[in-house]
Structure 1
Amino acid sequence: MADVLSALPEVTAWQWVPGSEGDTLLVAGPVDDARTDGRATDTGWAEQAVVDAGASGDAAVTGTDLAELPALMRLLDETALLTMARVLDRTRLFRDAAPHTAAEVVAALGTAPRHAWIVRRWLRTLAEESRLVLDPTTGHYRELTAPSRAEYAHARRTLDDARSGMGYPESMTRFFFAAADRLPLLLQDRTSLQEVLFPEGETDTAEGNYRDNVPSRWANHAAADLIAREARRRERREIGGRPLRVLEAGAGVGGTTEAVLSALGSTPVDYLFTDVSRFFLQTSRTRFGTHPGLRQALFDINRDPTAQGFTPASHDVILAANVLHNARHVGCALAALRELLVPDGLLVLVESCREHYQALTSMYLLMSPQADEEGWFTDLRAGQDRVFLTEGEWVRQLDAAGFRPLPVLPPDGHPLTALGQHVVAGRARPGHGRPDPGRVTRALAQLPETARPVRVHAVDRVLPTTTSGASR
């Protein structure tokens, strides 16, 4: 393959990305030094848009003392740390001075292979928090500081106060407790977190996680404001009153959808609400009823959109709230989404950009690879036992995939910045200098079928990973 690609003058870098339904090839052309360094924005529109979006976020949390939130989040994290230590202590591995490997701890817990990464995260996190000793030379762990029953009971009582102050509904306390009490079974895949998160099909706990708490409420309304402003921008430019075409990927319980539809008001819209699960599509139909212009469809961000019936250049805006971190390779996912956008279309992401310990004892169990998946993340997170990207990593990924990133929200210095929930947006950049994927595909046709990718995406830059990458 390298010989074929090297013969194409417009292809100067490429990356082979393995996938469960066939491999993808990312190709890039010569770097345009006059392009951007990843910080470029649409001057004027972008500057005012992020200011207004931030104001909308602030208005959505009026009456909340934002300065208290980091301390409340720390209380949630403290409870999670004690929960991890308590579960590990029950293995009895650390009740003497003997050191143990991560693999030994995973085995002692009877952990399902797909959840082993979570236990490794626990061990590293407890070591970083000085609750466990890590020998940097051997990589062995010893001397676990486990909570007493009284200490753990007090932490659980404190958790409810912290939950309330963060704006989570009461159901979140029940969820945190239920997940903590079932952790050994959850790690062993003897029960499922979905049963805890959606008891009897109810969604109020998930809504609390993605809609009601303060950071999510702020981010959802900021994202909605960006989309509403984009609608007004396009309305001024369009002739004939075509509705704003919005694709929401991984819409879930619709926490962000609600804010966006409210911000759009009476704006004519063709809003495609999508998710990988039919459960959420039915929930959307029940929740939003016959909202004008709202449709539902299945969509898996880890599969080729065109193979799922989506048409290139068919959407003005794509929204992905708390879902794109599930992409096995974010560069491939972003390139595929960019191809669904019209030229200069807007992509709006809502993403957690820091790890919360409470998620390590609950929501992370939903992010493990499926039992039949051969691999997991194949991008910059490969081999790192982590899910979330930092805001800086998201900006670089957008830039490489062919977007002009907007300033990240909330901005530096904002009280909510430390909590890690961010709005990361970008406008599709004109593809001057990008290789033609069709030409690349035709050139590769001379190779055996097993040596050819299933799909080819053109990007502005190929970013290195720990597992793959080739360039010349």
Structure 2
Amino acid sequence: MITVIESDARLGSRADENGLAAIEGWPTAQCAEDVDALDRLVLVGLADLLARTVGIAAADGSEPQALADRLGASPEHRWVVERWLDDLLAAGLVEAIGDGRVGSIERPRRTDLTAARDRMIEACARLGYASSLPKLLLDSLRHAVDLLQGRVSVQSILYPDGDATAALEVYGTNVVSRYLNAAAASVVADLAHSRSTPLRILELGAGVGATSEHILGTLGDRNVTHYVFTDLSSHFLRIARERFADEPWAHKMRFATVDITAPIADQLVDISADQDGYDVVLAATMAHNTVDVDALLGEVGVLLAPGGVVVLIETVVEHAQSLTTMPFALSMPDGSGPPARTDVRAGSHRTYLTAHEWTAAMVRAGLRPCVDLPRNGHPLEAFSQRLLVAAKPDTPTIHAETHDR
């Protein structure tokens, strides 16, 4: 039977309504200024670090790799210095001499650094990051040289003593995450209400389970056959098992270690007997970790049952606030820099794809994009994080207007 989603616009509208309901009363008008405050703190902090730590003769300039030498960067992290300089040049905080050389770096005044720190802390509070993200940003700046030299790991900054509190705030409790997770749960719930049988769901790179909680909390146990919770880290799988152990839908969860750079289906043989595929494949803030999005989405298309959907939450713009964490997590041990991408990011230091690049890749994989949120012009766009949904052909009709949640 050939079926279609009835009104992509209505599906997206329902998701937007549910996302906005999750942040009702939250002041969002200042989001752009607040996101900029997070970026600015890291940029001025790095400018201060380089001005204090390395000497540059303004007349002759310095090669980025010479600066890496002066900072004592380890072989695997040398490329990070060049990445920092690219963003500092774009922000006008470093002067380019030419031929790849860097000129003077003006050291920010102490009053400017203090103002940037205070503005960042206030912005984090408004955005729902509480105290964990300011601490993470300040700690990562404080240990930037240690990170470069390989004496401190980025994991120890992100998850001190194995604590996932900061990660939960970044991926679950702030304003844009609340919106996106609720909107994603709305799309999955609409699909569930269109089916006569419960859903089979696979989540890739589930991390601390912030999105999983929204999806399962919205669906309840009766609307799910099973929920396969996967991550590359066994540490996160352990956290999820403990965190969700007392939930009414806990018995529907299965756990597996999965590396998305290797064939996914082969890694699920012992945990899933879904010969007919999954109704939902979900990936929140992790699909960009693949080296080739076309290969990943092609595999997702095979994993999906006819009528299934892929639900992505993705950052679509490189933000400076991640400069003291994300690059270190990407460094290859052999000193070759970040993973060698073979998709549209090939030959660059880019981590993320644009929304247009994601939707184009979905189409190439034989999937039909049907939701892209937040809507144009909404203040939440400042975060550059989006919900992107695509359907595999023969998608069942979704009557979003006929049920309440």
TM-score scaled by structure 1?
Answer: 0.77
Identify which of 123, 131, 137 aligns with 1:176.
137
Identify which of 331, 336, 341 aligns with 1:368.
331
What residue in structure 1 maps to residue 387 of structure 2?
423
| Cα pair 2:185 2:215 within 8 Å, conserved | yes
Sort the Cα spacing of 1:386 and 1:254 in 2 relative to 1 into closer, same or farther, 3 A: same
Structure 1: tracts of 5 or more residues without a match: 1-40, 236-240, 431-472
Deviations 1:242-294 (A, max 9, x none): x3100000000011111111111343311111101111111011111052311
Structure in which a larger fraction of residues adopt helix? 2
Where do residues 1-40 of structure 1 align in structure 2 (5 Å cutoff)?
A: none
What residue in structure 2 maps to residue 322 of structure 1?
285
Is residue 168 of structure 2 the alignment partner of residue 207 of structure 1? yes
Distance 1:428 1:115 in 2: 40
Residue 199 (structure 1) shift: 1.5
Sort the Cα spacing of 1:258 and 1:119 in 2 relative to 1 into closer, same or farther, 3 A: same
Distance 1:247 1:222 in 2: 18
Is residue 110 of structure 2 the alignment partner of residue 146 of structure 1? no
Distance 1:261 1:96 in 2: 57
Identify which of 210, 214, 218 aligns with 1:255.
210
Residue 105 (structure 1) shift: 2.0
Q: Write the letter of the residue equivalent to 2:310.
A: L
Residue 225 (structure 1) shift: 0.8
| Cα pair 2:78 2:335 within 8 Å, conserved | no
Distance 1:49 1:391 in 2: 19
Sort the Cα spacing of 1:367 and 1:220 in 2 relative to 1 into closer, same or farther, 3 A: farther
Distance 2:55 2:125 in 1: 36
Deviations 1:76-101 (A, max 9, x none): 11111111112211333336433112
What residue in structure 2 maps to residue 167 of structure 1?
128
Residue 42 (structure 1) shift: 5.2
Identify which of 411, 414, 423 aligns with 2:375.
411
| Cα pair 1:169 1:205 within 8 Å, conserved | no
Distance 1:371 1:168 in 2: 35
Residue 334 (structure 1) shift: 1.1
Is residue 14 of structure 2 the alignment partner of residue 52 of structure 1? yes
Identify which of 271, 279, 282 aligns with 2:235.
279
Distance 2:296 2:106 in 1: 41
| Cα pair 1:168 1:209 within 8 Å, conserved | yes
Residue 370 (structure 1) shift: 4.3
Deviations 1:123-181 (A, max 9, x none): 1111111111224x522211212212332233222221111111102122211111110
Residue 373 (structure 1) shift: 7.4
Deviations 1:322-379 (A, max 9, x none): 0101001111111111111112210000001112211112233223334487952222
Distance 2:149 2:294 in 1: 32
TM-score scaled by structure 2?
Answer: 0.89
What residue in structure 1 maps to residue 399 of structure 2?
none
Where do residues 195-344 of structure 1 align in structure 2 (5 Å cutoff)?
A: 195-235=156-196, 241=197, 243-269=198-224, 270-290=226-246, 291-310=250-269, 313-344=276-307
Q: Secondary structure at the match of 1:143?
A: strand
Q: Write the letter of the residue equivalent to 2:235.
A: F
Distance 1:91 1:42 in 2: 60
Q: Secondary structure at the match of 2:379?
A: coil
| Cα pair 2:369 2:389 within 8 Å, conserved | yes
Distance 1:220 1:325 in 2: 18
Q: Write the letter of the residue equivalent to 1:127.
A: L
What residue in structure 1 maps to residue 68 of structure 2?
106
Deviations 1:399-427 (A, max 9, x none): 11121011311121222113201001101
Distance 1:225 1:297 in 2: 25
Percent sequence identity over matched residues? 34
Distance 2:335 2:307 in 1: 38
Is residue 351 of structure 2 the alignment partner of residue 396 of structure 1? no
Q: Write the letter of the residue equivalent to 1:46.
A: D
Is residue 152 of structure 2 the alignment partner of residue 191 of structure 1? yes
Deviations 1:294-337 (A, max 9, x none): 11111111101232134664211000000101001111111111
Q: Write the letter of the residue equivalent to 1:274.
A: T
Distance 1:415 1:407 in 2: 18
What residue in structure 1 maps to residue 350 of structure 2?
386
Q: Write the letter of the residue equivalent to 1:284.
A: A
Sort the Cα spacing of 1:49 and 1:74 in 2 relative to 1 into closer, same or farther, 3 A: same
| Cα pair 1:268 1:293 within 8 Å, conserved | no
What residue in structure 1 maps to residue 38 of structure 2?
76
| Cα pair 2:366 2:392 within 8 Å, conserved | yes
Alpha-carbon RMSD across the aligned residues, in angstroms, is: 2.0
Distance 2:82 2:138 in 1: 22
What residue in structure 1 maps to residue 53 of structure 2?
91
Structure 2: tracts of 5 or more residues without a match: 395-405
Q: Secondary structure at the match of 2:171?
A: helix
Distance 2:71 2:132 in 1: 28
Give the number of equivalent residue pairs.
383
Larger radius of gyration: 1
Distance 1:288 1:401 in 2: 34
Q: Secondary structure at the match of 1:423?
A: strand
Sort the Cα spacing of 1:190 and 1:316 in 2 relative to 1 into closer, same or farther, 3 A: same
Residue 190 (structure 1) shift: 1.3
Distance 2:99 2:58 in 1: 18
